[in-house]
Amino acid sequence: MAAFKLNLFTPKGVIVKDLECNDITIPTVRGEINILPEHTHILTELGTGILTAKTNTGVRHFSVTAGLCRVLKDTVTILSFTSEKVQDIDLERAKAAKAKAMENLSGKISLTDVDLIKNRRKLERAEMRLRLANLK
Amino acid sequence: MANIKELKKKIKSTKGTFKITKAMKLVSAAKLNKAQVRILGLRPYSLELEDTVRTVSALAQDYSNEYFLPKDNNKAIVLVISSDKGLCGGYNSSLAKTIRRFTNEHKDEDLKFYWIGKKVRDLIARDVNSGKTFTFAKQDPSYEEVRKIADELGSMFVAGEVGKIYVAYNSFISAIAFDSKVRQLLPMQVSTLDKELIKTKYPYDFKYEPGAEQILDTLVPEVYLTTVYTCVLDAIASEHGSRMNAMENASKNSKEVIKKLSLKMNKMRQARITTELIEVVSGAESLNG
């Protein structure tokens, strides 16, 4: 099966470049999509979640948050606001972030709409990181 | 002959300068390293993002966003990104020169200058319509701080207070080279030629999820912001690169000066010793005679 390439860029740096993959699962705003070789050209908004890439040497996981995904010919380009490799995840920090967000959302303090959304997103990200850490 | 002492003093002070320039060079090298990692990390992201927006806006029929629409307004803002500190070679003067040339070429526009970093402002503020100066909590601006600036300028553009926004900065090429340039930020432009080119390059359209317009609506402000941030990081990296070079040259020069002065001093000292010896010898000779 013909392989295709994955590029994952963030403003903080290049996470992976030209990684040869056979199969990628990408979280988008409308649910997960699966990309196989010879996929049609698509352009979609990323959601928060775990990106799974199957390569010849094994499976790799990355976290992604809001951003953009472009599938063009044999290249998948992901532009994410933040992204981490599994080994870079700070488990303690994610746990702390989850606890903090949960507490903020528990309703003890009143939140503005903006803060509510912010905290929900924080919770989502923390949970995603914890899930990702378990995939190690 | 009395100036052996003076020479000694000069050598000592040059040695002091040498130490300082050497230390500054090392500091700049370390900072450059950091800045370089940041800008080189950001570049692929920003290039891809820009490319995507160009492509999509060319392919999507009749899409327009407020960031694309030209405004019927003669006013324009130029955001000048320079440094707060001097001693960095031609960094600020070359930018000032570029801006002067730009002002001459755009006499028909009512330019107003906003500043990041005060060096270029000090150089040309007298000659231009000077506006606000942005400052940061730390020396290097954070992403959040850059976003605030970008938002402020962006909202002025969207509200129609200004018709164009430019940014003037030094773009980082390598540790020893930078390029001073003025670039138009808003309105974003995709020329018809580019559009045709993109259309021939991609004879098929993308499948958009959710929709092309929604994607562009979120992307366009992101591109604008990323572009500003790239400019700032570019400027920082080239500042450190430029300073490193300036300091390297200064160190080299002071080394040379020290060498020359030492040689001169040694020659003088030798001459004095010789004269003294001759005096002693001839004195002894005359006593003997």
Instruction: Convert the pLDDT of each residue in B109-139 to its tens digit.
Output: 889 999 998 889 988 888 888 888 888 877 7
- Check whether B14 has a pLDDT greater than 90: yes
> Is B45 part of the contact surface with chain A (CB cutoff 8 Å)?
yes
Claim to verify: residue B88 and residue B143 sit in the same structural domain: yes
CB burial readout A89-126, b (16+ within 10 A) else e:
beeeebeebbeebeebbeeeeeeeeeeeeebeebbbbb
More confident residue, B65 or B262: B262
Tens digits of residue pLDDT in B184-236: 888 887 777 777 777 777 777 778 877 888 888 888 888 899 999 999 999 99
CATH architecture of A89-134: Up-down Bundle (1.20)
Q: Which residues of B touch A34 (CB under 8 A)?
A: none
| Pairing between β-strand A58-64 and β-strand A83-85 as defined by DSSP bridges | antiparallel
Q: CA A87, CA A76: separation in Å to the nearest integer? A: 22
- Check whether B1 has a pLDDT greater than 60: no
Can you list the pairs that B24-32 forms with residues at least 24 positions away whose Cβ atoms lie under 8 Å?
A: B24/B87, B24/B243, B24/B247, B25/B244, B25/B247, B25/B248, B25/B251, B28/B240, B28/B241, B28/B243, B28/B244, B28/B247, B29/B240, B29/B244, B31/B240, B32/B175, B32/B237, B32/B240, B32/B241, B32/B244
Q: CA B62, CA B65: separation in Å to the nearest integer? A: 10
Contact A6, A78 (CB under 8 A): yes
Best B47, B50, B209, B217 member to test A by mutation, with max A CBs in 10 Å, is B209
Structural domain tally of chain B? 2
Claim to verify: residue B182 and residue B146 sit in the same structural domain: yes
Claim to verify: residue B15 and residue B106 sit in the same structural domain: no
Signed CA dihedral, B205, B208, B214, B220: sign only? negative
> Is B226 part of the contact surface with chain A (CB cutoff 8 Å)?
yes
Tens digits of residue pLDDT in B36-88: 999 998 999 998 888 888 888 777 766 777 788 777 788 899 999 998 888 88
Q: Do A10 and B209 touch (CB under 8 A)?
A: no
Return the SS3 of B278.
Answer: helix
Best A10, A34, A44, A68 member to test B by mutation, with max B CBs in 10 Å, is A68
**pLDDT value of position B61:** 67
Q: Do A44 and B215 touch (CB under 8 A)?
A: yes
More confident residue, A30 or B24: B24
Could you tell me the residue range of the domain that residue B73 belongs to?
A: 25-245
Q: CA B178, CA B173: separation in Å to the nearest integer? A: 5
Interface of B with A in 135-154 (CB under 8 A): 143
Claim to verify: residue B140 and residue B257 sit in the same structural domain: no
- For residue B59, the domain's CATH number is 3.40.1380.10
More confident residue, B278 or A129: B278
Mean residue pLDDT across chain A: 85
- Check whether A23 has a pLDDT greater than 70: yes
Claim to verify: residue B104 and residue B167 sit in the same structural domain: yes
Claim to verify: residue B31 and residue B17 sit in the same structural domain: no
- Check whether B10 has a pLDDT greater than 60: yes
- Check whether B283 has a pLDDT greater than 90: yes
**pLDDT value of position B99:** 92
Mean residue pLDDT across chain B: 88
- Check whether B2 has a pLDDT greater than 60: no
Claim to verify: residue B13 and residue B136 sit in the same structural domain: no
Domain boundaries, chain A: 4-86, 89-134
Torsion from C-alpha of B175, B177, B182, B183, nearest 10 degrees: -60
Q: CA B169, CA B180: separation in Å to the nearest integer? A: 6
Tens digits of residue pLDDT in B168-195: 999 999 888 899 999 888 888 777 777 7
Burial label, B202 (beta-carbon count in 10 A; 0-12, 13-18, 19+): middle
Contact A68, B52 (CB under 8 A): yes
Can you list the pairs that B143-146 forms with residues at least 24 positions away whose Cβ atoms lie under 8 Å?
A: B143/A11, B143/B229, B146/B225, B146/B228, B146/B229, B146/B232
Which pair of structure tokens corresponds to residue B237?
Answer: 């990296």
Contact A83, A62 (CB under 8 A): yes
**pLDDT value of position A107:** 77
> Is A44 part of the contact surface with chain B (CB cutoff 8 Å)?
yes
Claim to verify: residue B190 and residue B274 sit in the same structural domain: no
The model scores a pTM over 0.90: no
In terms of DSSP H, where are the helices of A33-74? Answer: none
Whether domain A4-86 has CATH 2.60.15.10: yes
For A28, the closest of B52, B209, B226 (CB atoms) is B209
**pLDDT value of position B63:** 72
Mean pLDDT of B3-15: 92
* Beta strand ranges found along A2-133 (DSSP E): 4-10, 13-21, 23-28, 31-35, 42-46, 49-55, 58-64, 67-72, 75-80, 83-85
**pLDDT value of position B28:** 93
Return the SS3 of B243.
Answer: helix
> Is B74 part of the contact surface with chain A (CB cutoff 8 Å)?
no
Claim to verify: residue B17 and residue B30 sit in the same structural domain: no
Best A65, A79, A81 member to test B by mutation, with max B CBs in 10 Å, is A79
Claim to verify: residue B16 and residue B111 sit in the same structural domain: no
- Check whether A47 has a pLDDT greater than 90: no
Claim to verify: residue B8 and residue B68 sit in the same structural domain: no
Claim to verify: residue B198 and residue B267 sit in the same structural domain: no
Q: CA B250, CA B18: separation in Å to the nearest integer? A: 8
Query: How much is the ipTM here?
Result: 0.80
Mean pLDDT of A53-67: 87
Q: Which residues of B touch A29 (CB under 8 A)?
A: 209-210
Q: CA B120, CA B80: separation in Å to the nearest integer? A: 8
